[in-house]
Structure 1
Amino acid sequence: MTFLRKKDRVLPGLPITLGFTVLYLSLIVLIPLVALAIKSAELSPAEWWNTVTNPRVVASYKLSLLTAFYAGLVNLVFGLLLAWVLVRYKFPGKRIVDGLIDLPFALPTAVAGIALTTIYAPKGWVGSLLQPLGIKVAYSPLGITIALIFIGIPFVVRTVQPVLQDMETDMEEAAATLGAYRARTFFRIVLPELIPPLLTGFALAFARGIGEYGSVVFISGNMPMKTEIAPLLIITKLEQFQYAQAAAVAVVLLLISFGLLLLINILQRWSNRRLRTAKGG
């Protein structure tokens, strides 16, 4: 029986595929990260600590993390709404709208940043209307958040959309037949099924937002302690030939990002387990 199972396999077995996986991860992910840590270790412990706890560096951490988090929350809501409309409704131009969702993937980030700055600058199309109201978008954290919303929305839509397409509507129709309100049907039947892909989309958008540079650098204004993001600060240190300091800042940002993504993955696994338990019960 064992011989037949091995013979019937079309793809290579575990040793070969595992070897290629480890090699790929080592070359693309692990070795660069180890090199980054080694480069930051060129600093003495005191220098390393002073670098990563500098008020300017801490402010850039906070700005990058908070704007990426807020943008992820916005994308969580509107990404679900867009995916719902694309899956559940038919309307003229649906394919065009579906294609536009992927535009942030194809559009160079620098082009996106210039376009957003042109629109939301004080003399821009939208900025000129918001300026009299006292709302400043460009060269502010709000502008950074909008840029991250723009580049992060496809992650949520494309992770939720396949789940909605595969979801049966029998339970929804049964709930409607029994007199359940639409809101109750959505929150009790549909939403639990969508929590895992929503968390995945949020994690992807959040991770992309933390490391985003091209679309943010133009609209942020790059003011230290105010609108300077962590990736820009790293680039600034590299331009000043402070390679070890730049590596130290990058290592801390990497650790913070990894910890937050690990927490999101734990929540995702917990929601998956809870959903399977509910179905089994």
Structure 2
Amino acid sequence: MAFRSSSRRRWQFRQPSVIPGFGLALGVTLTWLILIVLIPISGLIWRSSGLGWSQFIQLTLDPRTVNALTISFGTAFIAAVVNLVFGVVLAWVLVRYRFPGKRVIDAMVDLPFALPTAVAGIALTTLYAPNGWIGSLLEPLGIKVAFTPAGIVVALVFVGLPFVVRTVQPIMEEIDKEVEEAAATLGANRFQTISRVLLPGLLPAGLTGFALAFARGVGEYGSVIFIAGNLPYVSEIAPLLIIIRLEEFNYAAATAIASVMLLLSFIMLLVINMIQAWSRGRYGNVA
């Protein structure tokens, strides 16, 4: 009996996988992940660990560094919130309504993916500069967008909107209109239908799009440097400060700033993923 059970287990272990070449594919995937992601991050952490705690804290608490990190993470968070709201609305319009030019608008959503970020930054600066088409209209009102943190938010909204739309849109397409009709039949008004029927099912996808837009915004460089103005303590972002430190051959400061960005990004994405897992567990049955 023992021989039969052991042979049966060995036979089950040697059964071919459902996915052909799973072992080879897994090995290639892990090797590629180590080469592209883990080794650079490990090198960054190793270089930061060589600074010593006192020097590392001194570099990271530099007022210019703190201000640049605050601007980068603050503007990325604001832009991600804006994209979450308007991205869900845009996805809803594209899914639920038919109107002339719908395919054109649907294709324009992916434009930030194809457009070079430097070109986007130059175009946005041209529009929102004090003598630009939009900036000239805002200037008499005392509103200045270009060369301010507001311009950074505008650029990050532009590059981050497709992440929310393309993440939420497939989930919306799976929600039948009969669900809304059933809620209305049971006496729910529009606000109750949206808040208690539709949004719970869209929350996990919305948080995923929010996380992607936020992560893209934190590390964005090309579309921001033109419209930001890059004024220290005013509109200087952390990625630009890293480039400046590298050009000054101050590798210790550049490494410290990059390490702090890596740590803060990991913490914020971890929190978002935890909230997303909680929302899936709570609203999974509802969806």
* 1:27 partner letter: L
List runs of 5+ in structure 1 lacking aligned partners: none
- In structure 2, relative to structure 1, the CA distance for the partners of 1:5 and 1:90 (3 Å cut) is farther
Report the secondary structure of 2:266's partner residue.
helix
Report the secondary structure of 1:117's partner residue.
helix
User: CA contact under 8 A between 2:211 and 2:269: conserved in structure 1?
Assistant: yes
Q: Distance in 1 between matches of 2:286 and 2:110?
A: 34
The count of aligned residue pairs is 278
Q: Distance in 2 between matches of 1:7 and 1:160?
A: 37
For residue 86 of structure 1, report the CA deviation from its aligned partner.
Answer: 0.5
Match of 1:180 among 161, 184, 188: 188
- In structure 2, relative to structure 1, the CA distance for the partners of 1:19 and 1:91 (3 Å cut) is same
User: CA contact under 8 A between 1:213 and 1:231: conserved in structure 2?
Assistant: yes
* 2:181 partner letter: E
User: After superposition, what is the alpha-carbon deviation per residue over 1:49-93, rounded to whole angstroms, capped at 9, x for unaligned?
Assistant: 211110000000100011000000000000001100000011111
4+ residue runs of structure 1 moved beyond 3 angstroms?
Answer: 1-5, 15-18
User: CA contact under 8 A between 1:52 and 1:248: conserved in structure 2?
Assistant: yes
User: CA contact under 8 A between 2:201 and 2:284: conserved in structure 1?
Assistant: no
Structure 1 position 121 matched with structure 2 position 129: yes
For residue 244 of structure 1, report the CA deviation from its aligned partner.
Answer: 2.3
- Percent same amino acid at aligned positions? 57
Q: Distance in 1 between matches of 2:122 and 2:170?
A: 32
User: After superposition, what is the alpha-carbon deviation per residue over 1:223-260, rounded to whole angstroms, capped at 9, x for unaligned?
Assistant: 11110000000010111111222111101111001100
For residue 24 of structure 1, report the CA deviation from its aligned partner.
Answer: 1.9
* 1:125 partner letter: W
Query: Superposition RMSD on alpha carbons, in Å?
Result: 1.7
Structure 1 position 36 matched with structure 2 position 44: yes
Report the secondary structure of 1:215's partner residue.
coil
Q: Where do residues 191-270 of structure 1 align in structure 2 (5 Å cutoff)?
A: 191-270=199-278
For residue 168 of structure 1, report the CA deviation from its aligned partner.
Answer: 2.1
Match of 2:149 among 132, 141, 144: 141
Structure 1 position 6 matched with structure 2 position 28: no
TM-score, normalised via structure 2 length: 0.92
User: After superposition, what is the alpha-carbon deviation per residue over 1:92-140, rounded to whole angstroms, capped at 9, x for unaligned?
Assistant: 1111100000000110000000000000011111111111111110011
Larger Rg: 2
Instruction: Select between 187-196 and 168-177 the one with higher mean Cα deviation.
Output: 168-177
Q: Distance in 1 between matches of 2:270 and 2:48?
A: 23
Structure 1 position 54 matched with structure 2 position 48: no
Q: Distance in 1 between matches of 2:227 and 2:170?
A: 33
For residue 12 of structure 1, report the CA deviation from its aligned partner.
Answer: 2.3
